[in-house]
């Protein structure tokens, strides 16, 4: 008998768990499932800029060896320039670690940091890899409240109240998955102040920093807090539609001395995995230095903008459903009014929806939301597909009871 490691016992990643397994079974039985559960642009025909792909193809022969453990120099230079343009002081190529997606870097950043029982402040709802990775690394995710009535901004007073003598770091996800919130400058300054007062490492996941609607402004946390050690994460998966390349970065800013030992640990972990996938790293300078503009997707008439608008309109027309209109990212996070839709177990609801309507969505508690009254809908699909999907959801909710 081979048992799994006990350190996995409390690691939860429900958005890819039982619901996905059920979807696979239905597909194996020959059913076609409409999947709006994953922020994966390519299957929806949202492909990468040609110039980026051409540069990667042209670099393939030069990509056969291991690279520097932190990644190839041209890509680290491009990331450093990207943050310098954004107003982050003192980021040099040596402060940039490339990884096989932001996902790998999230785990590395936490592995290098946490001792058993250490606490990390994580938003609720969150992109659940953050909570899962904290747990995997022996820490405890302490969730802070992001509130629908604050346009899903974090409730800074609640954040401050969660700090204990075991708190080591704060995670910020902005623009946010799953809510689509883009945090105000005030909110960010409030979060950074909590970090400042309590000596917390700031881990800020800004993978959607360019995917903004209606003139929303994204403030880069590191630019607002040059006095704090900040790790900023970003990558190629979303803005440049290259999720399959597994290509992301982590940029260190702020004073290095207080985190010098930590950075040695991060470097050790980077060395242990030898290097990230080399061909995919070549996409980074081509995208960041190449003047690639994604505004055609975001302005009125652009695919993402139109899909967001139509998805939001249709969801909010369903009786007993309301929804914040996302200012960024790729997700709608509708709320099912508990007076109308009495849901006790939202994972069960999503499985029932899958079985009855062959539509795959994600349930709110899968994002570490405490209440079972939200769903996440990915709006990468065309307007026609979204109309079909949300029609199915409306039909399902019309007579669904638990
Ligand atoms: N961070 C957030 C907030 C995400 O939504 C995602 C993917 O959906 C990731 C990180 C993972 O990114 P990557 O594809 O670079 O691993």
In this predicted structure, what is the pLDDT of residue 290?
A: 81
State in Å: Cα 102 to ligand 1 middle: 6
Q: Distance from the CA of 30 to the center of ligand 1, in angstroms?
A: 30
User: Which tokens in the block code for residue 202?
Assistant: 């700031």
Q: Among the atoms of ligand 1, which is closest to the Cα of residue 247?
A: 15
pLDDT at 291: 85
C-alpha 179 – ligand 1 centre gap (Å)? 14
Q: What is the pTM of this model?
A: 0.97
Question: Which DSSP string corresponds to 270-317?
Answer: HHHT----HHHHTHHHHHHTTT---HHHHSTTSHHHHHHHHHHHHHHH
Quick one: which atom of ligand 1 is closest to the CA of 176?
A: 3
Count of CB atoms situated within 10 Å of the CB of 33: 15
Residue 353, preceding peptide bond in cis (omega within 30° of 0): no
Segments in the chain below pLDDT 70: none
CA separation for the pair 131, 95 (Å, rounded): 25
Whose C-alpha lies nearest to ligand 1, atom 7?
Answer: 39
| Ligand 1 centroid, distance to 16 Cα (angstroms) | 14
Report the 10 Å Cβ neighbour count for 265. 15
* Annotated domain spans of the chain: 6-47+296-398, 50-288
Cα(50)–Cα(152) distance, rounded to whole angstroms? Answer: 35
3-state SS string for 217-241: CCCCHHHHCCCCCEEEEEECCCCCC
Give residue 98 CA to ligand 1 midpoint distance, Å: 14
Of all atoms in ligand 1, which is nearest to the CA of residue 103?
A: 16
**pLDDT value of position 89:** 87
pLDDT at 9: 85
**Substitution site in 105, 238, 247, 366 for ligand 1 pocket (most atoms within 8 Å of beta carbon):** 238
In this prediction, residue 310 carries a pLDDT of 98
Q: For a substitution probing ligand 1, which of 41, 103, 176 has the most ligand atoms within 8 Å of its CB?
A: 103
Q: Which residues contact 304 (CB under 8 A, 6 or more apart)?
A: 211, 213, 297, 298, 330, 379, 380
| Ligand 1 atom closest to residue 38's alpha carbon, by position in its atom list | 8
- Residues flanking ligand 1, CB < 6 Å: 39, 101-103, 127, 173, 177, 205, 207, 235, 237, 243, 248
Ligand 1 centroid to Cα of residue 339, in Å, is 34
Shortest-distance atom of ligand 1 to CA 329: 5
The CATH architecture one would assign to domain 50-288 is: 3-Layer(aba) Sandwich (3.40)
pLDDT of residue 97: 98
Mention every residue, 6+ apart, whose C-beta is less than 8 A from residue 377. Answer: 36, 311, 315, 331, 332, 333, 334, 361, 389, 390, 393
Q: Whose CA is nearest to atom 5 of ligand 1?
A: 177
Which residue from 16, 177, 245 has its CB within 8 A of the most atoms of ligand 1, so it is best to mutate?
Answer: 177
**What's the pLDDT tens digit per position in 119-132?**
999 999 999 999 99
CATH architecture type of domain 6-47+296-398: Alpha-Beta Complex (3.90)
The alpha carbon dihedral of 186, 188, 193, 194 has a sign of: positive
């Amino acid at each position: 008998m081979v048992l799994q490691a006990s350190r996995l016992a409390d690691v939860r990643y429900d958005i890819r768990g039982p619901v996905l397994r059920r979807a696979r079974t239905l597909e194996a039985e020959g059913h076609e499932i409409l999947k709006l559960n994953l922020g994966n642009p390519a299957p929806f025909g949202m492909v990468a800029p040609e110039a980026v792909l051409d540069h990667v193809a042209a670099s393939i022969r030069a990509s056969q060896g291991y690279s520097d453990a932190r990644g190839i120099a041209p890509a680290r230079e491009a990331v450093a320039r990207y943050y310098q343009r954004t107003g982050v002081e003192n980021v040099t190529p040596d402060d940039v670690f490339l990884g096989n997606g932001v996902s790998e870097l999230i785990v590395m950043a936490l592995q290098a940091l946490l001792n058993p029982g250490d606490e990390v402040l994580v938003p609720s709802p969150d992109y659940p890899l953050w909570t899962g990775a904290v747990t995997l690394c022996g820490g405890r995710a302490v969730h802070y409240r992001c509130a629908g009535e604050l346009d899903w901004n974090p409730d800074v007073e609640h954040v401050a109240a969660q700090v204990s003598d075991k708190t080591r770091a704060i995670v910020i996800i902005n623009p946010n998955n799953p809510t689509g919130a883009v945090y105000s400058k005030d909110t960010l300054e409030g979060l950074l102040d909590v970090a400042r007062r309590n000596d917390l490492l700031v881990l800020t996941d800004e993978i959607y920093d360019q995917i903004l609607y209606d003139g929303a402004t994204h403030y880069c946390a590191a630019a607002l807090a040059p006095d704090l050690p900040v790790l900023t994460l970003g990558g190629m998966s979303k803005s440049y539609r290259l999720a399959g390349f597994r290509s992301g970065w982590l940029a260190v800013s702020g004073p290095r001395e207080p985190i010098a030992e930590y950075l040695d640990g991060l470097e050790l972990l980077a060395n242990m995995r030898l290097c990230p996938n080399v061909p995919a790293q070549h996409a980074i300078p081509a995208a960041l230095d190449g003047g690639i503009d994604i505004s055609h997707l975001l302005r009125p008439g652009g695919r993402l903008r139109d899909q967001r608008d139509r998805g939001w309109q249709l969801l909010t027309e369903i009786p007993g459903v309301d929804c914040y209109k996302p200012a960024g990212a790729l997700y709608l996070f509708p709320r099912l009014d508990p007076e109308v839709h009495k849901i006790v177990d939202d994972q069960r609801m999503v499985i029932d929806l899958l079985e009855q309507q062959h539509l795959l969505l994600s349930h709110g508690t899968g994002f570490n939301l405490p209440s079972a009254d939200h769903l996440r809908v990915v709006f990468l699909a065309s307007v026609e597909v979204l109309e079909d999907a949300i029609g199915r959801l409306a039909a399902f909710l019309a007579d669904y009871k638990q």
